[in-house]
Amino acid sequence: MAASDLINLSGLMDDAKCFAFVRQHRWPEGVRCPACDSSSVIRDGCDDTQPHRQRYRCKACASRFDDLTGTVLAGHHQPLRVWVLCLYFMGLNLSNRQIALELGLDASDVQIMTEQLRRGLVAKTPAVELTGEVEIDEVYVVAGHKGQPAAVAKRGGSDGGASWQARRAVARWRRTNHRSSA
Ligand SMILES: [Zn+2]
């Protein structure tokens, strides 16, 4: 029996807190205009159908926006709390199928949501910085060319580089595929 048969998690969530969560992560230093990046922003009422979705007006460029404008969460019919739960389940490494079961949604809808959330999250992730001990997998060592340095150099050139990249792409595909499949 799915947990959703016993408890409707989404129904227990607080909309106001979900919007506060997005606001806090999007603008940790205070609201900024998505059009001109000015911090000279005033509140401008709330959304007509979602009372906790704050609207704003930029005093610098006069553009209007709200908590979700310009995010992957804007323009979707799923309530924000469903997106927040989806993000939470992704953090628990649940598959799209498991998330769909928990939220009572179509697996294909969840597939689109998780793709969009990943894209949105990846865009904000800072460049990876390696420190300390670093371990590398998928390393291939050319062997069997003893006494033939010219042949080794040739294989390690354009030809060897291309196949190494292809292997890496396959490994990455295998990993992501594992993660998103049931
Ligand atoms: Zn502006």
pLDDT at 119: 83
* Distance from the alpha carbon of residue 37 to the mean position of ligand 1, in angstroms: 6
Torsion angle in degrees (nearest 10) through CA of 158, 163, 165, 170: 170
Angle between helices 15-26 and 80-91 (to 10 degrees): 70
* Distance from the alpha carbon of residue 58 to the mean position of ligand 1, in angstroms: 5
* Distance from the alpha carbon of residue 40 to the mean position of ligand 1, in angstroms: 8
* Distance from the alpha carbon of residue 104 to the mean position of ligand 1, in angstroms: 39
* Distance from the alpha carbon of residue 75 to the mean position of ligand 1, in angstroms: 20
pLDDT at 60: 96
* Distance from the alpha carbon of residue 62 to the mean position of ligand 1, in angstroms: 6
Tens of pLDDT along the chain (182 residues)?
Answer: 555 566 778 788 899 999 999 999 889 999 999 999 999 999 999 999 889 999 999 999 999 999 998 888 887 778 899 999 999 999 999 999 999 999 999 999 999 999 988 887 555 555 667 788 877 777 666 666 666 767 666 665 444 445 556 666 666 666 655 554 44
> What distance in Å separates the CA atoms of residue 171 and residue 125, rounded to the nearest whole number?
22
> What distance in Å separates the CA atoms of residue 96 and residue 71, rounded to the nearest whole number?
21
Model confidence, pTM: 0.60
* Distance from the alpha carbon of residue 31 to the mean position of ligand 1, in angstroms: 11
* Distance from the alpha carbon of residue 27 to the mean position of ligand 1, in angstroms: 15
Amino acid letter at 3?
Answer: A
Q: What does the DSSP assignment read for 68-90?
A: TTTSTTTT-SS-HHHHHHHHHHH
